Amino acid sequence: MTNSFKARATLQVGDQRYQYYSLAALEPHFNISRLPYSIKVLLENLLRHEDGVNTTVADIEALAGADFRKLPVKDINFTPARVVLQDFTGVPCVVDLAAMRDAMKALGGDMRKVNPLCPVELVIDHSVMIDHYGSREALDLNAKIEFQRNQERYTFLRWGQEALQNFKVVPPDTGIVHQVNIEYLARVVFEKDGLLYPDSCFGTDSHTTMVNGIGVLGWGVGGIEAEAAMLGQPSSMLIPEVIGVRLSGQLAEGATATDLVLTVTQLLRKRGVVEKFVEFFGPGLANLSASDRNTIGNMAPEYGATCGIFPIDEETLRYLRLTGRSEAHIARVKAYAQAQGMWWTPDAPEAQYSDVLHLDLSSIQPSLAGPKRPQDRVLLAEVKANFQQAFAAEQKARPSKGVVRVRHKNEDFALEDGAVVIAAITSCTNTSNPSVLIGAGLLAKKARALGLRSKPWVKTSLAPGSKAVTEYLAKAGLLEDLEALGFYVSAYGCTTCIGNSGPLDDPISKAINDHTLSVSAVLSGNRNFEGRVHQDVRMNYLASPPLVVAYALAGSTNIDLTREPIGQGSDGREVFLKDIWPSNQEIQQLVAASVSSELFRKSYAQVLSGDARWQGIQVARSDTYPWDAQSTYIQNPPYFVGMSRTAPGVQALHGARCLALLGDSITTDHISPAGDIKKDGPAGLYLQARGVQKADFNSFGSRRGNHEVMMRGTFANTRIRNAMTPGIEGGVTKHIPSGEVLSIYDAAMRYQQAGVPLIVLAGKEYGTGSSRDWAAKGTLLLGVRAVISESFERIHRSNLVGMGVLPLNFVDGQSAQSLGLDGSEQYDLEGLQRGARQLQVIARKADGRTLKFTVTVRINTPKEWDYYEHGGVLPYMLRQMAA
310 and 428 part of one domain? no
Q: Which of 363, 398, 418 is the last residue of a domain?
A: 363
Q: What CATH number corresponds to the domain at position 548? A: 3.30.499.10
- Give tens-digit pLDDT for 432-490: 999 999 999 999 999 999 999 999 999 999 999 999 999 999 999 999 999 999 999 99
What b/e readout covers 783-817, taking b as 16+ CB neighbours within 10 angstroms?
bbbbbbbbbbbbbbbbbbbbbbbbbbbbeeeebbe
- What pLDDT shows up at residue 674? 79
Distance CA 567, CA 561 (A): 10
pLDDT digits (tens, 9 = 90+) for 88-108: 888 999 999 999 999 999 999
Helix pair angle (873-882, 223-230), 10° resolution: 20
Name the residue with higher pLDDT: 401 or 255: 255
Kindly tell me if the per-residue pLDDT of 1 is higher than 80. no
Task: Reduce the DSSP state of residue 651 to 3 states and report it.
Answer: coil
Residue 70 CB burial class (10 angstroms; 0-12, 13-18, ≥19) = exposed
- Report d(CA 147, CA 144) in Å as an integer: 5
Q: Is residue 724 part of a domain?
A: yes
The alpha-helical segments, DSSP class H, found in 183-289 are 223-230, 257-271
> Do 530 and 399 share a structural domain?
yes
Rounded distance between C-alpha atoms, residue 598 and residue 600, angstroms: 5
Q: Is 655 left (phi over 0), alpha (psi -120 to 50) or beta?
A: left
Please, are residues 68 and 241 in contact by the beta-carbon 8 Å criterion?
Answer: yes
Answer yes or no: do 434 and 563 share one domain: yes
- Cα–Cα distance measured from residue 707 to residue 879, given in angstroms and rounded to the nearest whole number: 22
Of 717 and 37, the structure prediction assigns the larger pLDDT to 37
Rounded Cα gap, residues 502 and 551, in angstroms: 20
- Which amino acid, 452? L
Residue at 1: amino acid letter: M
The radius of gyration of the chain's CA atoms, rounded to the nearest angstrom, is 26
pLDDT, one tens digit per residue, over 103-161 is 999 999 888 888 899 999 999 998 899 999 999 999 999 999 999 888 889 999 999 98
For residues 287 and 313, give the distance between their C-alpha atoms in angstroms, rounded to a whole number. Answer: 12
Q: Residues 516-554: pLDDT tens digits?
A: 999 999 999 998 888 889 989 999 999 999 999 999 999
Ramachandran quadrant class, 63 (left: phi over 0; alpha: psi -120 to 50; beta: rest): alpha
State the DSSP code for 26: G
Mean pLDDT of the chain: 94
Cα 147-150-154 angle, rounded to 5 deg = 90
- Strand 235-238 and strand 741-743: pairing? unpaired
Whether 770 maps to a domain, the answer reads yes
CA nearest to 472, candidates 585, 584, 592, 586? 592
pTM of the model: 0.86
Instruction: List, for residues 635-658, the tens digit of each pLDDT value.
Output: 999 999 989 999 999 999 999 999
Which DSSP category does 275 fall into? T
Q: Is 844 helix (H, G, I), strand (E, B) or coil?
A: strand
Same domain, 655 and 736: yes
Q: Is it the case that residue 386 has pLDDT exceeding 80?
A: yes
Domain membership flag for residue 30: no
Residue type at 181 in one-letter notation:
N
Query: Residue 403's closest CA among 566, 527, 512?
Result: 512
Cα 607 to its chain centre, rounded Å, is 23
C-alpha dist (Å) from residue 528 to 367, 377, 427, 539: 15, 12, 12, 8
In a shared domain, residues 398 and 513 = yes
**Which of 595, 628, 662 is where one domain is finished?**
595
Domain tally, the chain: 3
Q: What is the CATH number of the domain that holds 847?
A: 3.20.19.10
Predicted confidence (pLDDT) per residue in 211-249, tens digit? 999 999 999 987 888 988 998 888 888 899 999 999 999
Owning domain of residue 311:
82-105+174-363
Decide: 748 and 758 in contact? Cβ < 8 Å: yes
Distance CA 275, CA 660 (A): 26
Distance of alpha carbon 446 from alpha carbon 636, whole angstroms? 55
The DSSP annotation for 148-187 comes to: HHHHHHHHHHHHHHHHSTTEEEEPSSSB-HHHHIIIII--
Residue 513 shares a structural domain with residue 585: yes
Work out the average pLDDT over 857-880. 91
In a domain, 693, yes or no: yes
Task: Evaluate the CA torsion angle 165, 171, 176, 180 in order and state its sign.
Answer: negative
Cis, peptide link before residue 737, omega less than 30° from 0: yes
Q: With bands split at pLDDT 50, 70 and 90, how would you rate the model's confidence at 771? A: low
Q: At CA 170, angle to CA 165 and CA 173, rounded to 5?
A: 160
Residue 726 lies in a domain: yes
Residues 472 and 397 in one domain: yes
Same domain, 590 and 646: no
The mean per-residue pLDDT over the stretch 54-71 comes to 95
**Burial of 490: CB neighbours in 10 Å, binned 0-12, 13-18, 19+:** buried
Residue 156 counted as domain residue: no
- CA dist 545 → 390, 395, 429, 450 (Å): 23, 30, 11, 19
In angstroms, rounded to a whole number, what is the distance separating the alpha carbons of residues 216 and 209?
A: 9
Sign of the Cα torsion 361, 307, 424, 465 reads negative
Rounded CA-CA distance 60/874 in Å is 28
749/817 same-domain check: yes
> From CA 649, how far away is CA 725, in angstroms rounded?
35
Q: Which residues pair with 17 in a beta bridge?
A: 12
Judgement on whether residues 471 and 529 belong to the same structural domain of the protein: yes
**Same domain assignment for residues 339 and 394:** no
Helices (H), 461-522: 467-475, 479-484, 506-514
Q: Specify if 252 maps to a domain.
A: yes
Q: Which helix (H) or strand (E) holds 383?
A: helix 383-397
State residue 757's pLDDT score.
98
Closest CA to 173 of 94, 297, 87, 95: 87
Q: Tell me the pairing of strands 75-78 and 235-238.
A: antiparallel
Task: Tell me how far apart the alpha carbons of residues 690 and 708 are, in angstroms, rounded to a whole number.
Answer: 12
pLDDT of residue 758: 98
Q: Are residues 559 and 670 in the same domain?
A: no
Distance CA 123, CA 240 (A): 29
Q: Is residue 806 part of a domain?
A: yes
pLDDT surpasses 90 at 4: yes
| Cα–Cα dist 561/578, whole Å | 9
Helix, strand, coil share (%) of the chain residues, nearest 5: 40, 20, 40
Q: What distance lies between CA 767 and its chain's CA centroid?
A: 12
697 vs 712: CA distance, rounded Å: 14
Q: Who's near 171: CB < 8 A, 6+ residues apart?
A: 124, 608, 609, 610, 611, 614
8 A C-beta contact, residue 222 and residue 802: yes
Domain endpoint, select from 538, 573, 595: 595
The whole-angstrom distance between residue 748's C-alpha and the CA centroid of its chain comes to 28
